[in-house]
Chains A and B, each alone.
Chain A
Amino acid sequence: MPRTKITKNSKRNREAANREEKIRIYELKMDSVLMSIDDLEQRYNAMVDTQLQAVTLRLQSELREMKMGDFLEILPNLEHFGDFKASDQTQHLGSQSMYSNTTNGGDVAGGSSTNCAAVTAAASSRNDEGYLTEDSSLGGAVSCSSASTLSAYTGSMLRSAKAMRTPGPLHSARARRERRSRSACGSVIPKVLGNTSTAIAAGSSNSIIVPNGHRNSRSKMRTPMATRPKAISADRTPRMLKKRNTSPSTPPMAFLRWPKPGEVALSKYGSPIVAQVMPDKFANVNIPIRNGVLSLRPKKLAEVKAELLENLDEDTLNQIRTLHESLQLIVNTANKAALK
């Protein structure tokens, strides 16, 4: 019986191909490593900037304007920047840790991951023993915004006020979810609403969006089950058929549409849908265009797909321009305020 003739040098060919493949992989990996190193560099540099900005903001203006010569003289008496008092330099305030943040400047390069909030929080909170707790981060945010205008005295008032916080659920826990009964009527809507942000942000599949997100009042009598959202769409295509095995995530700019009146939005690996009430906590831009919505989220936009812009008309473009100018103005003003 004849059989397929195997040429002698096929093995060698295979080896050559193998080798080329390995070299190709090497080049790919090399490129990606180099890119991630660049990325790290940018991150560290940005971290230095943030930390320094935080330190500068925290500094009292007398200290900020002080000449280095004088500063180096009083330095032995200072454990932390916060210890400095314009009138009485020897008075020590206690557990403020700004100084260590600057002396560890080298550590910033080494990979310390504290951020602005952590810095200010650590400096402004006494009862957290140096850890970033919710209390301190809230307090830190307060003193971060106020440090430039308020005196150190008000800062310590804030601190003592915080120390007297009554025990109970944390602020975030209270804000996240109101206490409600476990009845179907009470719990369904909040739960669904909580999902909408993840549904839009991550394009997560099995979450259901209620287009009109008002909370049903408990005083009204109604059949509990009627408020449960039902999928109206007849599209029952299994998700595997669509061959989208990469995890879907919303790009910085995406094309979405508004739900039609009374429509229950259901996204199963499809294009993400805008709920009429945007529960998002972050800054975003939704631009209504001819047959949908351009939704921009605060992520870096690498490229603009031409088909997204096909439905932009002149008016919308002008409006976007105005928006752009306004946003730019906000950014510039904020920058100026920070650099002041």
Chain B
Amino acid sequence: MKCFLPAFLLLLSTSFVSAGKVEFNRDIRPILSEKCYKCHGPDAKNQKSDYRLDSFAHATARLDKRQGISPGQVEKSELHHRIHAAGTDDVMPPSDSKVTLTPSEIALLDQWISEGAEYQQHWAFVPLPKTVPVPKVVFPSGSNADQAKLSRWAKNEIDAFVLEKLVQAGFTPSPEASRTQWLRRVSFDLTGLPPSLAELDAFLADESPEAYEHVVNRLLDSDACAERLTAEWMDVARYSDSYGYQVDNDRRVWPWRDWVEQAFRKNLPYDQFIVWQLAGDLLPDATREQRLATTFNRLHPQNVEGGSVPEEFRTEYVSDRVQTYGTAFLGLTMECARCHDHKFDPVTAMDYFRLSAYFANIDEAGLYSYFTPAVPTPTLWLPDKKQEAELARFEREIASLSQRLASRREILQKSWSSPADIRVPLPKPIASFSFDHLKNGAFPDADPQGESAKSSPNNLLVPGHRAQAVRLTGDDAVTLPVGNFSRDQPFSISLWMNTPDEKERAVIFSRSKAWTDAASRGYEMLLEKGHLVAALVHFEPGNALRIRSKDVFPIASWHHVALVYDGSSRAEGLRLYLDGKPVGVEIVRDQLTRTIEGGGSDTIVIGERMRDSGFKDGFVDDFSVFDQILSPAAVAALASDQTTFSPDLDHHLLTDDAESRAIFAKLTTSRQERSALVEEIPEIMTMEEFKGPPRITHFLERGSYASPGKAVSPATPAFLPAMEKGLPNNRLGLARWTVAEANPLTARVTVNRYWQRMFRNGLVATTEDFGSQGRLPTHPELLDWLARDFVDHGWDLHRLLKIIALSATYRQSSDLPKGKALTADPENTLLHHYPSSPLSAEMLRDNVLATSGLLVNQVGGSPVKPYDIAVAFKPSAPDTGASLYRRSLYTYMRQTSPSPMMIVLNASKRDVCQVKVERSESPLQGLVMLNSPQFVEAARVLAEKLIAEHGDDDEGLIRDAFRRLTSRQARPEEVRILAQLFAKESARFSADSGRAEALLKIGETPLRKEKQSLPRVAAATVLISTLFNYDECCMKR
């Protein structure tokens, strides 16, 4: 590599800071941010000092008759004196702060003050320029041949930016990588897989000028590319197949992963990719795909630990959404501002909570259900075509039958009148309990099933409404033997009760295993803040019917209460009666679409529920359960202790009118058939705005759910350009704002992340932080040019990847340059060579599956369990057959027990949004790649194939193996090393064929049927296993 002399200057078309002049963003902000802002930064409320250095106005303000910075006047600036006061009490930073300024930093600060202490807006918050000029490198001296060569080096705009910096520093680019090396590199980068031999040969034979472009087009237009892009997005989206936290049950969210894959396959414009995921549900006439995309916001860990406070975890979920949003799209560390104004960036705590308000307004619970497999609300149903059609048919049928029933009622309303003087007996309950006698924990009431109600001895019998009643402790249950109704079954419950006080919350009775732990699955009657509440619940709160009395319940007196449900799954079909009269109610929820059965505790329990507030010191008497609707007249009779009543129209329709009864019977059948179908339809967590009154988001003191401050309205961070007028101020508005022209961050953050995947590091090395603590871009103009080009071409991701892949910069050799470049720029920020990097965990495993031919190319579907899940921290049985050989993207990801192989190979742990995975080497990786059945089997299967192809031709076998695994021809010395290994091991396995047989038994794939020399196959397995671990097989170079 040729080095230019330092005197070799160049002129640039872009603005250039004259040597010596201090630039705030480049030179000063990093010092202030790193060493001063903690006490003198934007977080004015929580820092010791009133003096702030985060803006010109603050920094030059006079406080206590002193001026921190007097622009242009070093001597008059307090700051100057304080940073020079080493050894005194006045020194800044203070000696106990454990922060010190270096002499060069002190000099820079002085120079900056004397040059006028100019501030600049933080580079990442400056709007993206409308156009970004491409530099033209001009060489004032040097040999013409060199100039000509360099001027021909650039293949596209990227290279002009890179070359400019290289030449400026006195360096030149590295030579081109070989064709094979480039093909291998670009294949891994775009598809996560190595090139096949056929692809390699085709490319080497293609002498057309478009050969490279053809390859890139072919790679981009493949399922493998979509899978590779999806794998990366899974880390960003903290995707996992389980809920996380401690119990970590499985969750079914892979349909969202499949949506991501399709989006990448179709090259969905990236701005839409973002908008759909953030707010697809709010798009006009949102499609199922657009709604499904919003599962992105629900992939945070979710808790179910018994006894947890639901609001604590709901707050965490919302925070996680904000943090993921901030990191993934804005490149900002929003979570810092949850507890206090950001210490380094202009993000205030108010910004944080106003942003979080966009993500809070869904009908969700803080805990998922331990006792049932319910999907936490809100959800989207994913019926297949047939189910969709059948569901529509049932809905039509049910609507039509309901209509007929209503019509019949209307007709009879006009024609039917209650026959005078006729009284009929009350409907017969399926069970009835007087609570008059309690013996050995049982109420020996006669009941039809012969089973009695049971109670703890702590509940006492006391005089009640009629004879004795039960007085409840609130911690002890009275358990009835009946009550397991489906949502399609009409039922009624009649009881007398007496509450000693209003009750903040008290369970009168329920058919439900538990409150939060079962998400209230079942049905229940409660007192809440004095109001009577009745509910039928699949999953609380989002899939339930819930009504609440408008008036508070009278205290310290006996009252008759009836609950009547008509089997309609509608709130209007659920009624409450007090002392025989209908209770005026408000509808709290009217969204019951799935079963209310299950979860355990299959019968009615009075006065207590697991981890809920019981009916402490309350009284209950004469409790009856009916498997039918009670008419108002029947309820009135019960409320007045009558045994007969004069029938009303409802009663007539229910019991006497044959036509109504026939329609109702059909209706019930249809509802039951619908329910059976619905239980088969999978659903998935998504976003859906709550239709009731908006959930209020509060400013939380120190970020704690337990310290809510004042209510806040949703808004985008105040320091960024405001949302365009006309956008709705909801999640959709936020999504549109995120990809709006005025947003300075999203496009830059996105192109930077894709640059990182191609070049190991981003142009901004801190991919996750574009704030003032982040690293400055190495090539700010290039970053802007890429972002501008990306936006101007409709956020076309494939175009972006193609430009990068076809650049001369990307085509450089990864061999380390031999000149000064390395010592001058060891981090390769100037890109004087292509930065090699270890293959990702997914690539390492997929590579051996692909090269051995074991890889099963099946796109999408439910997760699979390869061999190593059997030795995970929480082991489960591995799959068999094709599932063992799918791409690693599909490997079952359990948060608390991920695939141990993938974790050792540096896969992301997926508990939080991760835009950059630190790759480190450890001896454990070699053990996995040499010893695990997945790798050993792959080596053996390839060994069999090569033995079959090459027979006794050892050298041919070795050369073929080497090329398949590294894409290049082996050199003679390499062949010699491997031939020695192969010969030696062949001999040793021949001498001990038992070892060969044991080795070849590993893995589920059977040995080839045709006759083969097992010692030779074993030796070839050893050879290939060795090569699997060879650098050029497992590094991207």
Chain B binds chain A: no
